[in-house]
Structure 1
Amino acid sequence: MTCPAEALDVVAGIDIAPGTEVLLNRTLYVEGVRSRFGDPVWDLSAAIEDRHSAGQAVHWKGFPPAFRHACKLYLFALLNIVDDAPRLDSARSTYPHIKTILGELVPLRRYTTWLTDAGVTSFGQVSTEHLDDYLRHVTETNGDSAGTKRCALQAIMRLHLYRETLPAQCRLPAGPLWGGASARGLAHYESSWGKPNTTPRIHPDVMEPLLSAAIAVTQTVAVDLLPAARNLLAMRHLAHQIAPAIRRAPTRTVSVFETTKAQLECLLAALDRNDASLPGIRTGGVTSVDLMGLAVGGWMHHTELKRMNETPVMLATSGLPIDVDMLRANTFSTIGTHSWRDEPVDARELVGLLRHVTVACFLVIAYLSGVRTGEALNLRRGCISRDPKLELTFMSGQQLKAHDGRRERSPATIPWVVTDETAHAVTVLEQITVSDLLFPAFAMCSQNRFAFGATRTRTPGSINTDITRFIDWFNHEVAPVVSHPPIPGDPHGSIQVPRLRRTLAWHIVRRPGGTIAGATQYGHLHTQMIHGYAGGADSGFHDDITFEKFLHRAETIHDDSQRLERGEHVSGPAAEEYRARIARASTFAGLTVTTKSQINDALSNPDLQIHHGAVVTCVFRRATAACLEPADSSAEPFWSRCRLGCVNAARTDRDAASLRLHVTALQRDLAALELPEPLRQRIQVRLIEHRKALAEHELIRPMTTPQQDEDNE
């Protein structure tokens, strides 16, 4: 007698069995990770393109047993229905991405737990009354944000939307859910989509020494450590490859002595096969094996290695040559005028210092390129290229938040244009990583890093923690030795990586002439960036720049208005228009900005077109701007072609004070330098123009009170 075959559930036209793969219809980016329907944990990392995301697995043990199978079927539908998938009204993609799915699993688990507590054991038993009760439960819960409530409701809406794709016992009641209202409306959630970036900037007094420290570490400290670091990682890689089973076993289950001895035997044999050397140390003219280096590089217990009587015998019997300081750093370069270190760095300390080097490289790359956090973390070996004809350096990588048409193109065709400091930081990382990813997850020399470093990157949270540690290390160990300014605490708290991008936009707008490193300035950096992806609409960086321009313009005009009220004198052809625009622009004082379009409209308003230069203020009007050619369509003055006689020019008391300093400097040059006659004549003509402008400024100054004179100083 034969038993009838067990009926299988069918989802997306697929018969579901315990051995069915759960990622059948998704693009996979990692080989070897294949979870199956019957597994207690579903690893979805293979379907996630960017490798820095945390929480890439679903642990089914946390779901109520009564709903576990139904939730598995629902998740299988979310993963594998990619053609004509059911879509929420607010959806911006044709089917839910893996991150979206993972983000809704916690609300789904909470919902099924709530149903279980209510005595419901399947989705098919859920009534409209249950749904209304849950709506009240979510919306009336104290302590949850509107965003959390929206996510909780949206997870149920998606489950309801997929009801026709699921077996009958997994379906919520038919008909409009909660009257057809949106999750956003029910939760009273105000979306931040389309609004300016409100991420707090890093204070310039913090960012400047932080960037200086990061560049010093990547260009000096890292160079001193790299020879020993390469040797250490090579030996550690070999040690993981040849480790016997006892070394891979949990330490609580095996003998430390037996583990260390077995690992040493395997390592010595492997070093001999590879014609490699033992790490050495020289003390008082005597050369011996560097046991600390051997323990760290060979993945062994240092104390046990020193204690074992077998260690010297096994080392002598191996006959391997000894390479002095192979895993140690003894020579240190200067930062400024002082060496950054005096004491040797052994292998154990080297591992910790390499972590600081890694975070320094991240700071340089993420800040000076303007890339998003995830884009920096997903960079891979070989991402830097140079074009000798254009004299530009490119950095290619995965670009997040780009539309599908752009993402389909090769990243090599739409790179970021970066500085030499950024390219050097990438080069450093390429020498201390064991996989293609420049920021692999897990500890520096851990077994997991060598095994899984090619598929997982560091998370933003771990980088944030390391930045705090980097600042503490640099302030205590390096800054006092080399007389580098310490990195102070930031008014907004610890440094979080998303703040770097916003801070770069602020510096580009507020301090275009500020020196970053060498001859590089923020204005030059911005010019470079707009040639590549960072200057495109997809990168989002233009939005940050635009918002910073608006804030800067509004703050400047507010300051101008206060100075006029205190009696600041203004002269020049555009003086009256300057005063009129300041008066009209006061209407922006109470403006609440909620969208990017509002910012763009405000920036194009003629009343906000007041630009302060070094010695003159431009009340900009394109039709009469002497700095622009007829074919120019610029919406701002071209300062390098500024003409003092331009009808758009106005001069405040601040400009006059700067102009006097400039006149003094020109006079000093004429008296002290042996200048060619044509240059001397040009300076003399310029001095005549400047003195005339200063005389006119004072000539039409109205009578002022002593208090006004004091305010204008």
Structure 2
Amino acid sequence: MTSTAEALDVVAGVSVAPATEVVINRTLHIDGIRCRFGDPVWDLSAAIEDRHSAGQAVHWEGFPTPFRHACKLYLFALLNIVDDPPRLDSARSLYPHIKTILGELVPLRRFAIWLADMGVTSFGQVSTEHLDGYLRHVTETSGVSAGSKRSALQAVKRLHAYREALPPHCRLPAEPLWGGASARGLANYESSWGKPNTTPRIHPEVMEPLLSAALMVTRTVAADLLPAARKLLAMRRLAHQIAPDIRRAPTRTVSLFDTTKAQLDCLLAALGRNDASLPGIRTGGTTSVDLKGLAVGGWLNYTELKRMKETSVLLAKHGLPIDVDMLRVDTFSAIGTHRWREDPVGASALVDLLRHVTTACFIVIAYLSGVRTGEALNLRRGCISRDSKLALTLMSGHQLKADEQRRNRSPATIPWVVTDETAHAISVLEQITVSDLLFPAFNMCSQERFLFGATRTRTPGSINTDITSFIGWFNRDIAPAVSHPLIGADPNGTIQVPRLRRTLAWHIVRRPGGTIAGATQYGHLHTQMIHGYAGGADSGFLDDITFEQFLHRAEIIHDDAQRLVGGEHVSGPAADEYRARIERARTFAGLTVTTKSQVANALKNPDLQIHHGAVVTCVFRRATAACLEPSDSSAEPFWSRCRLGCVNAAHTDRDVASLRQHVRALQRDLVTLELPEPLRQRIQTRLIEHRKALAEHESSRPPTTPQQDGEDE
């Protein structure tokens, strides 16, 4: 007698059985991770290109039993229908990304639970009345954000959009869902897409010592630690590779003595095969094995290693050479006039310090490159290259929020232009990472890092915690020792990594001459970032810079207007145009900016083209700018070629005060310095120009305006 084969559901042209692989039509980025339809947990991490995302597995036991199979079929459709899939009106990609899908599973589960509570046991039983009831349930619930309500409704709308791709028992009613209204409109959700970045900046008095501390650690502290760190990590890697089964077993199931003895015996044999040494320590005139260092490097329990008699027996049996201070650091560089540490660093402390070094490297890389948090966390070994013709240092990596055309290009063609400090931080990480990923997840020497460090990165949340820990450590252990300013508390709360990118944009616009490190300045950094590759590689960061430029201009206009009302005098060829632009531009004080394009258009407004220099104000008009050549296309003045006689020039009382100081400095140079005659003549010519500008400013001052303090030149 034969039995009839059970009919299988067909989705995406596949007859789905328990043994069917879950991901068929998407690229897999990790080998060896394959989940089946019948599995209670679907691990989708292999299909996610960036490695910093948490929650990459679906646990089906959380879904109500009547809907579990249908939800599995729906997720199978989402994953594998990639050619002409159903799309929502708001979709910006050809098919939903894995992280989008995972994000909608929680609201999908809540929808299924609500249906089950209503007595419904399949999506095929859902009526329009049920859907209207769920809409009221979502939108009328108090204490829930509009964004959460929008997500809840969006999950149902996508399920409805896929109805024709699913078996009949998985289909919602065919009628247009909720009259065809969008989830955003139904939830009264105002999207932030396309709006200027409102992430709070890190206060300059916090950011400057934080960056200085990070650079100090990546340069000096890391240089002292790296020799011992490389040896420690090499031994630890070997220890994990040769570990016997008993060492990998749960500790509650095996004897600590047997585990330590077996691991030590295997480790010593492996060290012998590799002509390696044991870590040593010298006390007085006696050299002995550094058991603490051996325990950390060899993945051994130190207490048991020190206690058991077999330790000395096994050490003598293998007779390995001893390398004194192999896993210790006792020589420290000076920062300024003091060394950053006095006490030796053993293997355990070295592991803790390497965590701080990694954090310092992240701060330098993320801040000075302007890349997004996820882009920094997904950087890999070998991401730095140099273009000798362009004299640029380039950093390549996986770009987030990029369109498919750019994403599919070779990383070599889409690098970010970065500073030497960034490249150095990456070189430090390449010496202490155990895989290609520069920021692998899990603790520094843990078994998980050696097993999964090639596939998982640290999460943004863990990096936030690391930065807080780094600040505490630096303020406690390093700053007092080398007389470095403390890293203060930020007025806007703890430092979150997305704030680094916004803060860099602020510094580039507000402090272009501010020194980052050595000869590198923010103005130079801006030039690098918009040079060639970088402008196309991450236009999002340039949007942040544009927004900061707009805010800066608006604040300047407001200040200028207040000063004019207060009686500030303005002279020079462009004085009348200066006053007229200020009067017209005062309307920006009441402007509500809602989109990035609105910012860009406002920034092009001629009334905002007022630029304050060191001793002159430029009321910029490109056609009459003496600083520009006919071939120049710049929309701003070229200050290094500024001419005081330019028709775009105006002098405020602030400019005149600075001009007087400059005149005094030039006069002192003529008297006190032995100057070549051509330079002396140039200074005298400049003095004539300056005195003329000062005289014209005072002679044109209205009689009713109080005289500016200070003597006439």
- TM interval, shorter chain, is over 0.9
For 1:633-675, what per-residue CA distance to the aligned partner results, in whole angstroms no more than 9, with x for missing partners? Answer: 2211111110001111111111111112222222232333322
Structure 1 CA distance for aligned equivalents of residues 7 and 173 of structure 2: 24
8 Å CA contact 1:536, 1:542 repeated in 2: no
**Deviation, structure 1 residue 450:** 0.7
- Could you tell me which residue of structure 1 aligns to residue 252 of structure 2? 252
Q: In structure 1, what is the equivalent of residue 192 of structure 2?
A: 192
Aligned AA for 2:601?
D
1:497 paired residue number: 497
Q: Structure 1 residues 220, 537: closer, same or farther in 2, change over 3 A?
A: closer
Rounded Cα–Cα distance in structure 2 between residues aligned with 1:679 and 1:24:
75
- Aligned residue for 1:446? 446
Aligned residues: 710
What's 1:103 paired with? 103
Q: What residue in structure 2 maps to residue 534 of structure 1?
A: 534
* Displacement after TM superposition at 1:707 (Å): 11
Deviation beyond 6 Å, 4+ runs, structure 1: 705-710
Answer whether contact 2:215 2:364 (CA < 8 A) is retained. Answer: yes
Matched, 1:422 2:407: no
Aligned to 1:275: 275
Aligned 8 A contact 2:506 2:545 in 1: yes
Q: What code does the residue aligned with 2:487 have?
A: I
User: Does the 8 Å CA contact 2:359/2:463 hold for their aligned counterparts?
Assistant: yes
Cα distance in 2 for partners of 1:155, 1:600 equals 34
Aligned to 2:182: 182
Q: Does the 8 Å CA contact 2:385/2:395 hold for their aligned counterparts?
A: yes
Paired residues of 1:414 and 1:532 also in contact (CA < 8 A): no
* CA distance in structure 2 between the partners assigned to 1:504 and 1:288 by the alignment: 51
Cα deviation digits, residues 468-517 of structure 1 (max 9, x gap): 10011101110111011111111111111111111111111111111000
User: Within 1, Cα distance between the matches of 2:655 and 2:250?
Assistant: 72
One-letter code aligned to 1:267:
L
Corresponding residue for 1:241? 241
Return the offset for 1:704: 5.3
Quick one: percent identity of the two aligned structures?
83
Give, in whole Å, the separation in 1 of the partners of 2:188 and 2:119: 30
Q: Which moved more, 1:306-315 or 1:667-676?
A: 667-676
| Paired residues for 1:116-155 under 5 Å | 116-155=116-155
Q: Distance in 1 between matches of 2:539 and 2:21?
A: 35
Query: 1:544, 1:485 → 2: CA distance?
Result: 29
Q: Distance in 1 between matches of 2:363 and 2:164?
A: 49
Q: Distance in 2 between matches of 1:405 and 1:152?
A: 31
Give the conservation status (yes or no) of the 8 Å contact 2:415–2:537. no
Counterpart of 1:138 in structure 2: which amino acid?
V
Give the secondary structure class of the aligned counterpart of 2:10: strand
> What are the within-5 Å matches in structure 2 for residues 79-94 of structure 1?
79-94=79-94
Is 1:401 aligned with 2:401?
yes
Is contact 1:403–1:538 with CA below 8 Å preserved after alignment?
no
* Aligned equivalents of 1:375, 1:503: Cα separation in 2: 17
Q: Could you state the TM-score of these two structures normalised by the residue count of structure 2?
A: 0.98
Deviation at 1:174, TM superposition (A): 1.5
Q: 1:54 and 1:483, CA in 2 relative to 1: closer, same or farther beyond 3 A?
A: same
Match of 2:416, as an amino acid? W
1:403-432, Cα deviation, whole Å (9 max, x unpaired): 222222111012111111011001000000
Consecutive unaligned residues in structure 1, runs of 5 or more? none
Please say if 1:437 is aligned against 2:437. Answer: yes
- Between 682-691 and 487-496, report the one with greater CA deviation: 682-691
**C-alpha distance in 1, partners of 2:538/2:470?**
32
- CA shift, 1:220, in A, is 0.4
Higher mean alpha-carbon deviation, 1-10 vs 610-619, is at 1-10
- Cα deviation digits, residues 572-616 of structure 1 (max 9, x gap): 111111111111111111100001121122111111111001110
* Aligned 8 A contact 2:23 2:80 in 1: yes
Q: Which moved more, 1:509-518 or 1:671-680?
A: 671-680
Equivalent residue, structure 1, for 2:549 = 549
**SS of match in other structure, 2:674:** coil
Match for residue 218 of structure 2? 218
What's 1:666 paired with? 666
SS in 2 for 1:611: strand
User: Which deviates more from structure 2 when the two are superposed, residues 278-287 or residues 686-695?
Assistant: 686-695
Contact 2:11 2:167 in 1 (8 A): yes
Contact between 2:558 and 2:589, CA under 8 Å: does it hold in 1?
A: yes
Alignment match, 1:353:
353
User: How far apart are residue 87 of structure 1 and its match?
Assistant: 0.5
Moved more, 178-187 or 110-119: 110-119
> Offset of 1:532 from its aligned partner?
4.4
* Distance in 2 separating the partners of 1:602 and 1:307: 74
Q: CA deviation at 1:451?
A: 0.8
Per the alignment, residue 10 of structure 1 pairs with: 10
Residues 567, 705 of structure 2: 8 Å contact kept: no
CA distance in 1, matches of 2:147, 2:193: 13
Q: Cα deviations across residues 242-271 of structure 1 (Å, max 9, x unaligned)?
A: 111111111122222221111111111111
Distance 1:470 1:114, change over 3 A: same
Contact 2:416 2:537 in 1 (8 A): no
What is the CA-CA distance between 1:9 and the residue it aligns to? 1.1
Distance 1:284 1:693 in 2: 77
Q: Does the 8 Å CA contact 2:381/2:438 hold for their aligned counterparts?
A: yes
Report the counterpart of residue 232 of structure 2 in structure 1. 232
Q: 1:656: which partner in 2?
A: 656
Correspondence 1:71-82 to 2 at 5 A: 71-82=71-82
How far residue 538 of structure 1 moved from its aligned partner, in angstroms, is 4.5
CA distance in 2, matches of 1:574, 1:78: 63
Q: Is the 1:236–1:296 Cα contact (8 Å) retained in structure 2? A: yes
The offset of 1:6, in angstroms, is 1.4
C-alpha RMSD over aligned residues: 1.4
Which residue identity is paired with 1:355? R
Distance 1:704 1:272, change over 3 A: farther
After TM superposition, give the deviation of residue 705 of structure 1 in Å: 6.6
Q: Is the 8 A contact 1:371 1:534 kept in 2?
A: no
SS of the equivalent of 2:18 reads coil
